[in-house]
A and B are shown apart, each in its own frame.
Chain A
Amino acid sequence: MSDIANRVKKIVAEHLSIEEDKVVASANFSEDLGADSLDTVELVMAFEEEFGVDIPDDAAEKILTVQDAVDFLSEQSKAA
């Protein structure tokens, strides 16, 4: 697993108070991991913080699963 994926996993587990091994790539934040709308906003903020990027609202709306987050952040780090 990539470094980015590991960091995403850690953030998700910490913010949603769940075991890291439940944070699989295909997991949907709200449907599988119990995040409500405010949790999701907070998660995106945590990603911004960790990776030093800005995630605009329209992009944030498309980040629904762990893999979506990893993909988006990987793209950003390539661009940078």
Chain B
Amino acid sequence: MLRRVVVTGLGAVSPLGGNLKTTWDRLISGHSGIGKVQRCDTTDLPVSIGGEVPMGEEPGQLNVDDYLSGKEQRKVDTFIHFAIAASDQALADSGYKAETEEQQDRSGVMVGSGIGGLPGIYDASITLKERGARRVSPFFIPSTLVNLASGNISIRNQFRGPNHATVTACSAGAHAIGDAARMIAFGDADVMLAGGAESAICPIGIAGFAAARALSTRNDEPEKASRPWDIHRDGFVMGEGSGVMVLEDLEHAKKRGAKIYAEVVGYGLSGDAHHVTSPPDDAHGAYRAMKMARERAGLNPEDIDYINAHGTSTPAGDLGELRAIKRFLDGKTDHVSISSTKSAIGHLLGAAGGIEAVFSVKAIENQIAPPTLNLDEPEPESEGIDLVPHKAKERKITYAMSNSFGFGGTNSSLIFKKFES
């Protein structure tokens, strides 16, 4: 008998803010977190825009000093800073602490990332080339490994249960949440911190994605560059940050009187078996992931109220997903609202599935669908479908689905349900 799994804590770091509250408030009010890249010199790069986490001491910004000492900060790359900040927020929000040995053994971590410490790898490569092997830091490897987000969160909170990490490109955050929920359902843990973290905005990251022709080159209008389903979209905008949630066995949550946001009722995953970076025209893999999630949840197409789409703003990807969603809903699209929050924060890659799952749960909590910014001229194929253009929309949301698809043709869909005891 599988156990029921609920969401009891949420945390986020994003281009819209250093915490979930700021991020959510700005998302719902239609702000964009996209701008000119500040962190590195983009003079010789074809793309100079991105969604960077606002860092500093102003309210709403991320001040890493609030989470880690200077010495601790130096030993881990930026994606781990983000993961720690988001997981600390989520855990504080849940009110849970692993205090006894038994609690520690029954608590785990699963925070994924697409690339992990790419800026650190870039810097160390330069050090090796210019100054030799003896100058490469002993912290280089543990600061950049993808699973060291989970590893550090585990040490920090004394979570001694499953210590795992997904590395499935832009599906990593969603896979982490889905797989962690299953670990709880199977009884491997009672509590899991799950989500994704990414910080790949650095010269080699931008150059690589630009070379793959994946990025928008709308360098002069950063806030308008991420425009999912708009006919003038020309690629995604790199974002960074982290989204982490506390997943918990329902009975465990009830016993400690936890605030329950939502239940994880559906999870589906699939492979395109098609191409390393492009989906097939009909996005059958995306369709099958959504269908598996819906069937796992025991739902009909008309039960889905809100879909937080993958919607990256790439010409092929957005169209494929739209077609897959139509097929998934048996063409019945009157009841559903679909939006892409990447229009505001860009594509957080391995963190996307994490933060977008957090947004889906917040959408249920607040009964509001976040907007799709910049949707001025929608794809003709989207006619009759509510893509929540420009402004957030208050509406009934009992079931919210979050889609994430990654390079390698790896797809995942999560379905959350408004919690009813």
Interface residues of A (CB under 8 A from B): 15-17, 38, 41-42, 45, 48-49, 54
Contacts and interface: CB of A to CB of B under 8 A. Distances in A.
B135 A38 contact: no
Contacts of A49: 135
B138 A38 contact: yes
B139 A45 contact: no
Contacts of B366: none
Please classify the interface of chain A as helix (H, G, I), strand (E, B), loop, or mixed, using the class held by over half of its residues. Answer: helix
Interface in B133-153: 134-135, 137-139, 142
B139 A17 contact: no
A41 B137 CA distance: 8
A54 B132 CA distance: 12
B138 A42 contact: yes
A17 B138 contact: no
A45 B135 contact: yes
Given A38-B139, A38-B142, A45 B69 contact: no
B137 A17 contact: no
Interface of B: 69-71, 75, 134-135, 137-139, 142
**Which of A16, A38, A41, A42 is most buried by chain B, counting CB atoms within 10 A of its CB?**
A38
12 contacts: A15-B71, A16-B71, A17-B69, A38-B75, A38-B138, A38-B139, A38-B142, A41-B138, A42-B138, A42-B139, A45-B134, A48-B134
Closest A-B pairs by Cβ, 3 of them: A17-B71, A41-B138, A38-B138
A41 B391 CA distance: 54
B137 to A, nearest CB: 6
Contacts of B135: 45, 49
Contact of A45 (B71, B137, B142): B137
Contact of A42 (B69, B70, B137): B137
Contacts of A54: 134
Contacts of A41: 138
Nearest to A17: B71
B94 to A, nearest CB: 30
A17 B65 CA distance: 13
A68 to B, nearest CB: 19
Nearest to A54: B134
